[in-house]
């Protein structure tokens, strides 16, 4: 509850809970989150590939009363038809996936199959920026919002640029779009992300925002850096 209260106070329009341990506990936690953030902020859940098809459908039905905005990775990211079956069964709840998708071909098939409502591209999973530009263009063609995955070392710094490019050069829209944010590890970067009222602030320096500080490179250099030798 405390984290949900803080996110709402900081201006974030959406919060996300991990689910998949037990149905009863997930229902309890989601009810608490919904009551905390109120009816006007979005609440999503992330199963991290925990379920098979039938389990996913049953579990998501139990969460429906709490106005779930999306269910993320309900099953294996390689199971395109499985995602499509889940999406059909649990509508109007939306399915989000993509952070583990390796290339634009799988993205194309997910979109063709109606297997997702939100594409969650990752800055490092595919073969660089150009591949993700292809994914952005594919999603625009199919009318599906892109909501990038982030949270690891430098992922927030990287994916903000993909979301910015999507808005400026492709869709011109922020409707139903979100860019994941986790508030840690930014201190290792020369130009860390800046958040204001729950929104990313456009970087003020050129580049992909990926340059790490000399101190971080020295400290974590393997195997001789102090992080490994002390």
Active site residue ranges: 18, 149
Residues constituting the chain: 230
Task: Provide the 8-state DSSP code for 1.
Answer: -
Cα–Cα distance list, 33 to 36, 50, 70, 102 (Å): 5, 21, 15, 33
Nearest to 170 by CA among 199, 135, 198: 135
Residues forming a β-bridge with 68? 43
């Amino acid at each position: 509850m405390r984290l949900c209260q803080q996110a709402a106070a900081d201006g974030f329009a959406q919060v996300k809970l991990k689910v998949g341990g037990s149905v009863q506990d997930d229902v309890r936690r989601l009810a608490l989150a919904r009551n905390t953030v109120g009816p006007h902020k979005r609440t999503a859940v992330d199963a991290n590939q925990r379920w098979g098809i039938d389990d996913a459908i049953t579990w998501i039905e139990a969460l429906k009363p709490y106005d779930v905005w999306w269910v993320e990775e309900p099953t294996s990211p390689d199971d395109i038809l499985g995602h499509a079956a889940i999406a059909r069964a649990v509508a109007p709840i939306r399915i989000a996936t993509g952070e583990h998708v390796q290339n634009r071909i799988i993205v194309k098939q997910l979109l063709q199959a109606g297997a997702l409502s939100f594409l969650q591209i990752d800055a490092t999973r595919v073969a660089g920026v150009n591949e993700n530009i292809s994914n952005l263009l594919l999603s625009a063609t199919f009318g599906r919002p892109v909501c990038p995955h982030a949270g690891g070392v430098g992922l927030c710094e990287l994916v903000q640029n993909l979301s910015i490019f999507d808005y400026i050069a492709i869709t011109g829209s922020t409707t139903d779009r979100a860019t994941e944010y986790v508030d840690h590890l930014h201190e290792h970067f020369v130009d860390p992300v800046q958040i204001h009222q729950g929104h990313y602030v456009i970087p003020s320096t050129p580049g992909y925002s990926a340059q790490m500080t000399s101190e971080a490179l020295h400290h974590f250099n393997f195997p001789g850096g102090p992080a490994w030798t002390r």
